[in-house]
Structure 1
Amino acid sequence: MITYECRSLRTLADEERWPELLGLYRESRAVGAALRGESQGAAETAPLGHLIAYGAPPELAARLFDPDGGPGTTATTADHDSGPLWEVLATRHTWRRLAPLLGPEPVRRLVRHTRILLGEQLGPAAEPDPEGVPPALEPWELAARQPDALVREYLPKGGARRALLTLPAGLEGLGPVELPERGEQVMGLAATRLLATTVPWVTARCVRGPGPAAAAQLTTARRVTGGHVSFGAVYPALLQAATERPWQGSAEGRLALWRLLAAMTGADTVSVPEVNALVARLRCFTWQEPDDELRFLHLALEDPATGLSWALSGARYDP
């Protein structure tokens, strides 16, 4: 097993000895995977992968995901340090530069959607998404777009920064609300299951009734501080909540939210016009809980066309 000191690796990076670093990465990853298993091997080499994905020329950095190094040497979509290695790479170069270099389709797709979230206009370079998620941000995705919140800002030597979003984001626009009786719970809907898996640290419910009646399912208070907000204001917090862990990238969050919205229309596949129509009519209700601290999300999404509302509520206390 090759061992190395981070300081020595950073020196090699400062000297731009990228082929040597790629060779070290591949050898260390393969040996680690053989001796300690795939996940452990990937974890041990992730800091080196970050240095390469961040600083190397795209022609070399993209080779992290190229299987030409042999079994066990290739970074996958799950390889991560402070964030997925494919997302680190995607924040450093345009799709025009990366498209000819990336072979594996899962990585290509995630890098492509990361560039979309960062605001790149792909134009003729766009490729059709297998699920039909559009190759450009829709107006409601742009409405409250905060690049530093949607996609992590990665640092050259490792680590990342990201603004922390919550719902509600503050008390502006909120006021005292008397919640109605709890709405009748609707069981077994695909959208409810997707909501619970997209943000696994919240409790999710679907009810027949307005948004506040759905909120009443998830809070013990009858009188709350709450109010309605636009879906554009909700979207960044939802996307971030779906991608909090370092192995989750923002592109995965975007794809998950499009699947969720498609399921809320009752469809099995994504239809951009139907999703846009749903978003346009959604009424979004958010409220505050007395024990909210660092990370929390309290939201009800009401679809007036069906009379259904989906609510999710939860808090995280770990970093």
Structure 2
Amino acid sequence: MIVHEERSPGALAAEGRWPELLLRFRRARAAGAGSAGALGHLVAYGAPPELAARLFDGDGGPGTAADTADHDAGPLWEVLATRHPWRRLAPLLEPPQVRRLVTHTRALLGENLAHDAEPDEEGVPLRLQVWEAAGWDEPGRVREYLPGGGARLAVQALPALREGLGPVRLPEPGPPAPALAATRLLDGLAPWARAVCVRGQAPDAAARLASERQVTGGWLPFTAVYPALVQPAAAPADRGAAQGRLAVWRLLAAMTGERRVVAAEVDALVARLRCFTWSEPDDELSYLHLALEDPATGLAWAVSGGAEV
């Protein structure tokens, strides 16, 4: 009697049998099997780009193509984007949203695609602005994916350390401002954080969310704030750093009063923002305590919260 033993996905990957793994992924995805994400990760990480890009093609039949939500340790489009430069991926990726997220991932990894990819639909630059790169080392911007599954990501908590902070007595909370798009977007960065907007300065906004009037806090440049804003929006496994970057650009555009990103307006806003941070007694691993003050409008926003560890 002949017994056929099905090879493990890891063995197929080690042997470079990528068409078989792609077929397994498509079957698992069409069936709604939980193994689809792990199979897709192997293909996105290790297969040649010409085959890995087919994860997002519909030529396998209904329900077999990955979309932007397919993930294992992270979204499959982000795994693929970390493995190859844009010039290799550009001719291969057809779904517009996958292409868009891959271009922004490559920008986060240091590529300048301002002249090599289609313009972003919201006007977000396809290269990092100086203030984006200044406080954020490249290795920590995107998850570091592992060949067999899993990923590593540097946690960007704020305040990262108490060094440079000191005792601060917060004032009375500032008067709340009317509901603004920027407040809603700031509130939506993380499910565990709450945001407010006041008329006043950054400490006036912080006073609305801080657990105590006497805090350990201090001022810091926006370059140090930016990574801690991006990461909460990128943290869920079905999202990626590109989505976090886009979320923060939408937030900054809304703070300028624009409905669409105008890069020059955002740059000017970033240059004048005053940023205040403080610590809370129950801070553990992932948390954010930040107030942003725009002297030009007299408005200040604060966001605060911590994820359960």
Tell me whether the two structures share a fold, i.e. TM-score over 0.5: yes
- How many angstroms apart in 2 are the aligned matches of 1:220 and 1:137? 35
Out of 154, 159, 164, which is 1:168 matched to?
159
Report the alpha carbon displacement of residue 223 of structure 1 after superposing the two structures with TM.
1.4
Q: Spell out, residue by residue over 1:42-100, the C-alpha distance to the aligned partner (whole angstroms, 9 max, x if none).
A: x4310000000000000000000011111010000000000000000000000010000
Contact 1:84 / 1:249 at 8 angstroms: preserved in 2?
yes
Alignment of 1:224-235 (within 5 A): 224-235=215-226
Report the alpha carbon displacement of residue 164 of structure 1 after superposing the two structures with TM.
1.1
Instruction: Give aligned pairs, total.
Output: 305
1:55 is matched with 46
Report the alpha carbon displacement of residue 123 of structure 1 after superposing the two structures with TM.
5.2
- How many angstroms apart in 2 are the aligned matches of 1:193 and 1:211? 18
**What TM-score do the two structures reach when normalised by structure 1?**
0.93
- How many angstroms apart in 2 are the aligned matches of 1:194 and 1:108? 24
- How many angstroms apart in 1 are the aligned matches of 2:230 and 2:114? 24
The AA in structure 1 aligned to 2:178 is M
Name the SS for the 2:68 alignment partner: coil
Gaps of 5+ in 1: 34-40
Residue 204 of structure 1 pairs with residue 198 of structure 2: no
Q: Which runs of 4+ in 1 moved over 2 A?
A: 121-124, 146-149
The AA in structure 2 aligned to 1:141 is E
1:219 is matched with 210
Residue 245 of structure 1 pairs with residue 250 of structure 2: no
Report the alpha carbon displacement of residue 201 of structure 1 after superposing the two structures with TM.
1.4
Report the alpha carbon displacement of residue 9 of structure 1 after superposing the two structures with TM.
0.7
Residue 310 of structure 1 pairs with residue 305 of structure 2: no
- How many angstroms apart in 2 are the aligned matches of 1:71 and 1:105? 18
2:134 is matched with 143
1:300 is matched with 291
- How many angstroms apart in 2 are the aligned matches of 1:175 and 1:293? 19
Alignment of 1:11-26 (within 5 A): 11-26=11-26
Alignment of 1:115-194 (within 5 A): 115-122=106-113, 124-194=115-185
Contact 1:149 / 1:236 at 8 angstroms: preserved in 2?
no
- How many angstroms apart in 2 are the aligned matches of 1:23 and 1:119? 33
Name the SS for the 1:68 alignment partner: coil
2:87 is matched with 96
Contact 1:66 / 1:74 at 8 angstroms: preserved in 2?
yes
- How many angstroms apart in 2 are the aligned matches of 1:127 and 1:154? 27
- How many angstroms apart in 2 are the aligned matches of 1:121 and 1:306? 33
Quote the sequence identity (%): 65
Q: Spell out, residue by residue over 1:6-64, the C-alpha distance to the aligned partner (whole angstroms, 9 max, x if none).
A: x711101000011111112112221x13xxxxxxx4x4310000000000000000000
1:195 is matched with 186
Contact 1:196 / 1:203 at 8 angstroms: preserved in 2?
yes
Contact 1:149 / 1:240 at 8 angstroms: preserved in 2?
no
The AA in structure 2 aligned to 1:283 is R
Q: Spell out, residue by residue over 1:192-249, the C-alpha distance to the aligned partner (whole angstroms, 9 max, x if none).
A: 0111112221010000000001000001311111011111101111111211110110
Contact 1:127 / 1:135 at 8 angstroms: preserved in 2?
no
Name the SS for the 1:263 alignment partner: helix
Report the alpha carbon displacement of residue 135 of structure 1 after superposing the two structures with TM.
1.1
- How many angstroms apart in 2 are the aligned matches of 1:277 and 1:152? 30
Task: Return 213-222 or 88-97, whichever deviates more.
Answer: 213-222
Report the alpha carbon displacement of residue 149 of structure 1 after superposing the two structures with TM.
2.6
- How many angstroms apart in 2 are the aligned matches of 1:119 and 1:214? 34
Report the alpha carbon displacement of residue 177 of structure 1 after superposing the two structures with TM.
0.9
Name the SS for the 1:286 alignment partner: strand
- How many angstroms apart in 2 are the aligned matches of 1:293 and 1:28? 38
Contact 1:300 / 1:310 at 8 angstroms: preserved in 2?
yes
The AA in structure 1 aligned to 2:106 is R
